[in-house]
Structure 1
Amino acid sequence: MLFHYHYWTPYLEETEKFYTELGFTVHQRIGRLNGSFQSFNPPLVWEDFRENPPLFRIIEMKKGNINVTVGYGKKVMFDHIGFFVSKEEHGIVCEKARNLGWKVEEDERRTFISTPYGFRIELQTHPDVLAAGDAAIEKMILSIRKEGLEKDLHRLFNRDVRVFSVLDEEINVQQVVINGIVFVKDPNGVSIWSI
C-alpha cells in the first residue's frame, strides 16, 4: 500500500499548518538544538520554540493510512515515497530490487531502495507509521527524467501500485489523490486532489 512521501523544505511551519488543516495530526518533531537532537513533539506548538528555533530533521504527520514527513532544506526537494508491506512482501521486493541492480539499505526500522529515477522508495512493515481512519493515497503522479517507472514498480510489487510518472527536468511529486480531500496545493507545490 502506498502510504507516504517525504520532502526537504524551507517551509516547515507552513507545511505543518497546511496538513493539520487537512486533518493530519503531528506525531513527532525532531530537531537539532544546541548541538544535539531533541524532540519537540505535541503538545508543544511553534510558539513554544520560536525564540530559539531548532533545525528540524523531521516533522511527521499522519491521517489514516497516510504519513507525510518533511525536514528542513534550503530549497524544496522531494526525497522518497513509501509503501507499507508485509514482512513476506518486504523480502520479495528487496530481492527483486537487488536483481534490478538497485541499492537496498535495510535496518530494523525501515528499508530504503535507491531507484535510477532520482528518488528512493521506503519499505515499511511497522503499523505504528499509520494512524486510525480511512484516509488513503489513491494515486500519485511523479515528475521524473526518464521513462520506465511504472514498469519497474510493477516488477517490484507484482501489481500496479498507482504511482504514475510524467517526464520533466525536475524530480518531484506533482499530484497526490487522497480520498475525501478537495483540490488544494501544499506550500511545496504538491497538488492534492480528491477522488
Structure 2
Amino acid sequence: MNNSTLFHLHFNTPDLAGAANRLENEGIQLQRRFGSVRGDGVALGPDDTEPDGFRLKLQVHQYGAVNITLAPGKRPHFDHIGLRVESIEDISDRAATRDWSVRSNDRRTFVMTPWDFRVEIHSSTADVVTTLDSPALAHIDDVILCLPDATVAREELKEVFGQISQLRIVSGEGPWIDSFRIASEQSDSTISVQTLLGDQETA
C-alpha cells in the first residue's frame, strides 16, 4: 500500500483577519480569495480589490508545499485535511468497502470518515498539487489530530489512506487539530490551532 502526503488543512473561524495575519507571520501568504457577487463565483488575487457585494467563501494561504484554507465560521472549526495520494481509485474503493461516503467532482474527491471530518484526496498531477513549491522550502509536519477513539482511527485511516507520516492521532475530544508544525529551510515553527483561529470554544 502506498503512502500519502498531507499538504492541506482547512479551518473555519470567526476571526478570519486575525488568523490570516497569524499565518502571514509564519510566512504562509494569502494566495487566492474565492467568493461570489449576487450568486456569481468570483476569484481574487491577494491584492485585488473586492467588488461591491462580494461575499467571501474561503481564502487560500500557501508557502512551499504548505496549503491552508481559511473560511468564515461562527466558531473555530476543523473541517478537513488534504492528501496527495498515489491512487484515488484505490483509496475510494477501500473507503467504499467500509461504507465511508466518497464524493467526487472535476476538481477533488472527498472521503467522509466515521469521526465527522473529511479527507480531501488529490493525485500528484492535480492543479492544487502542481501549484505547490518544493517541500524543501516548507512543508506541513507533526499534525496532531484529536479523536475520541484514537486507536481504532489510527488503524482504519492507515488501512484506507496508507501511512500518513505527517499525521499523529491522539485521544481527545474531536475531531480537532491541536497543532501542526511548519518545517522550512530557515526554521521549524509549531502552530497552536486554538491560537491561530482565536481563543474561543472549539467546535
Give the TM-score, by structure 2 length.
0.80
Partner of 1:79: 79
Q: Determine the structure 2 residue equivalent to 1:162.
A: 166
Aligned to 2:100: 102
Q: How many residues align?
A: 184
Alpha-carbon deviation of 1:52?
6.0
Matched, 1:15 2:15: no
- Post-superposition shift, 1:38? 2.2
Counterpart residue number, 2:117: 119
Aligned equivalents of 1:95, 1:16: Cα separation in 2: 36
Greater Cα offset, 28-37 or 117-126: 28-37
Q: What is the distance in 2 between the residues matched to 1:168 and 1:84? A: 26
| Residue 137 (structure 1) aligns with | 140
SS in 2 for 1:182: strand
* 2:188 alignment partner in structure 1: 181
Q: Aligned letter for 1:159? A: Q
Structure 2 residues without counterparts, runs of 5 or longer: none
Residues 146, 178 of structure 2: 8 Å contact kept:
yes
Instruction: Report what 1:38 is aligned to.
Output: 42
**Mapped partners of 2:132, 2:166: distance in 1:** 21
Does the CA-based 8 Å contact 1:137-1:177 persist in structure 2? yes
The residue type equivalent to 2:132 in the other structure is: A
Give the 3-state SS of the residue equivalent to 1:169 in structure 2: coil
Equivalence for 1:193:
none
Which residue does 1:60 correspond to in 2? Answer: 60
Letter of the 2:78 counterpart: F
Question: Would the alpha carbon gap of residues 159 and 187 (structure 1) be closer, same or farther in structure 2, given more than 3 Å must change?
Answer: closer
Q: Which amino acid aligns with 2:115?
A: Y
Q: Distance in 2 between matches of 1:127 and 1:38?
A: 18
1:150–1:163 Cα contact (<8 Å) kept = no
The code of the aligned residue for 2:142 comes to K
RMSD in angstroms over aligned alpha carbons? 2.3
The yes-or-no answer on 1:25 pairing with 2:26 is no
Distance in 2 of aligned mates of 1:8 and 1:53 = 21
Partners of 1:176 and 1:184 in 2: how far apart? 5
The whole-number CA distance in structure 1 between the counterparts of 2:35 and 2:162 is 38
Counting only pairs closer than 5 Å after superposition, residues 144-159 of structure 1 correspond to structure 2 as: 144-147=147-150, 148-159=152-163
Deviation, 1:167, is 2.4
Shift of 1:177: 2.1
Cα distance change, pair 168–30 in 1 and its aligned pair in 2 (3 A): same
Distance 1:165 1:177 in 2: 14
Partner SS state of residue 197, structure 2: coil
- Structure 1 contact 112–123 (Cα < 8 Å) conserved: yes
Identify which of structures 1 and 2 has the higher relative contact order when contacts are C-alpha pairs closer than 8 Å and 6+ apart: 2
Question: Could you list the runs of 4 or more consecutive aligned residues of structure 1 that deviate by over 3 angstroms after TM superposition?
Answer: 32-37, 51-55, 127-130, 183-186
